[in-house]
Chains A and B, each alone.
Chain A
């Protein structure tokens, strides 16, 4: 049990880290890109824009 908890904690720390919004921004970019591709729209700009917006949101960090 101790090892499973440590294993899960390692991955939680690796993926979520100090700020869950890192993972959320990545997930949003993936979902939007999949949607745009399914609709036959150009999608290369979605990742840079979503990640860029996340970085800009750091300005609100105290």
Chain B
């Protein structure tokens, strides 16, 4: 397996894992508060809608020329990676509040309690909509990550394996502990994923434009090292000059 293929699977696994943890928090909060039947129907409907999108989108992506695909996907990945890396740097430096799944879980439960279920109705539409929306929106990001990352390297199968591994682990953890996965080091994960996406995005976009990277695939490792060292130095410098914390 080449360096870029290892990067592909790792990035897909971590990025999809983070999105799935967020979706799981919404499903658990809704299921525990309003009942599991409607919550799970919402999940099933969202997964069905996502499957339709992936089936329609996948073959269309495979027809786009590889150079164009690398520029479009690479630049989107770079923008997305920079968003995560920026937040992760600010959080690590104490300039932004940490992402707290327990807090989000409590807020989602609060929302779910606002409209109590009508026991005469066979389906609690409010609970259904909450989980449908949560799973569909987070799932759309997962689908986008899998299809685009995979298509840019013409290995959708590897990207799908990465996402599948994340799904199995997050689902198993959710079923076993039945609580939001607040012990998952989500902020650290986002830091790593931000670095991976930024490195991958840089590599692909430049290559799609026509840049020949010295060392070909090994340039990915150098880029990752460069951004990691730079981010660490920035966090250190920020910690040395503390300012206010944004939420």
Near A by CB (< 8 A), chain B positions 62-96 give 71, 75-76, 78-80, 82-83, 85-87, 89-90, 95
Find out whether the CB atom of B82 lies under 8 angstroms from the CB atom of A54. yes
A3 within 8 A of partner (CB): no
Q: Out of A18, A26, A30, A47, which one reaches B87, CB within 8 Å?
A: A18
List the A residue with the shortest CB-CB distance to B244. Answer: A62
B residues less than 8 Å from A10 (CB atoms): 137, 140
Q: Which of B104-112, B121-129, B171-179, B230-238 contacts A (4 or more CB under 8 A)?
A: B230-238
Find out whether the CB atom of A51 lies under 8 angstroms from the CB atom of B198. yes
Provided the pairs A19-B83, A19-B86, A52-B226 are in contact, do residues A44 and B211 lie with their beta carbons within 8 angstroms? yes
List the A residue with the shortest CB-CB distance to B90. Answer: A61
Find out whether the CB atom of B210 lies under 8 angstroms from the CB atom of A14. no
What is the interface residue range for chain A against chain B? 20 to 34
Docked Cα-Cα span, A48 to B82, in Å, equals 12
A residues less than 8 Å from B234 (CB atoms): 55-56, 58-59
- Measured CB to CB, the closest approach of chain A to B223, in angstroms, equals 6
Report the count of interface residues on B (CB-CB < 8 A): 40
How many A-B residue pairs have C-beta atoms within 8 angstroms? Tell me.
Answer: 92
Q: Out of A29, A48, A58, which one reaches B86, CB within 8 Å?
A: A58
- Measured CB to CB, the closest approach of chain B to A23, in angstroms, equals 5
Find out whether the CB atom of B230 lies under 8 angstroms from the CB atom of A56. yes
Docked Cα-Cα span, A34 to B206, in Å, equals 9
Find out whether the CB atom of A26 lies under 8 angstroms from the CB atom of B230. no
Docked Cα-Cα span, A52 to B195, in Å, equals 12
- Measured CB to CB, the closest approach of chain A to B64, in angstroms, equals 18
A residues less than 8 Å from B238 (CB atoms): 58-59
B213 within 8 A of partner (CB): yes
B157 within 8 A of partner (CB): no
Find out whether the CB atom of B202 lies under 8 angstroms from the CB atom of A51. yes
B residues less than 8 Å from A55 (CB atoms): 85-86, 89, 227, 230-231, 234
Find out whether the CB atom of A47 lies under 8 angstroms from the CB atom of B89. no
Q: Out of A14, A15, A19, A37, which one reaches B209, CB within 8 Å?
A: A37
Find out whether the CB atom of A58 lies under 8 angstroms from the CB atom of B89. yes
Find out whether the CB atom of A15 lies under 8 angstroms from the CB atom of B243. no
List the A residue with the shortest CB-CB distance to B231. Answer: A55
B residues less than 8 Å from A56 (CB atoms): 230, 234
B50 within 8 A of partner (CB): no
Find out whether the CB atom of A51 lies under 8 angstroms from the CB atom of B227. yes
- Measured CB to CB, the closest approach of chain A to B43, in angstroms, equals 20
Report which A residues bind B (CB closer than 8 A): 10, 14-15, 17-19, 22-23, 25-26, 29-30, 33-34, 37, 43-44, 46-48, 51-52, 54-56, 58-59, 61-62
- Could you list 21 examples of A-B contacts with CB < 8 Å? A10-B140, A14-B79, A17-B83, A22-B86, A25-B82, A26-B82, A26-B205, A30-B205, A33-B211, A44-B206, A51-B78, A51-B82, A52-B226, A52-B230, A54-B82, A55-B89, A55-B234, A56-B230, A59-B234, A61-B90, A62-B95
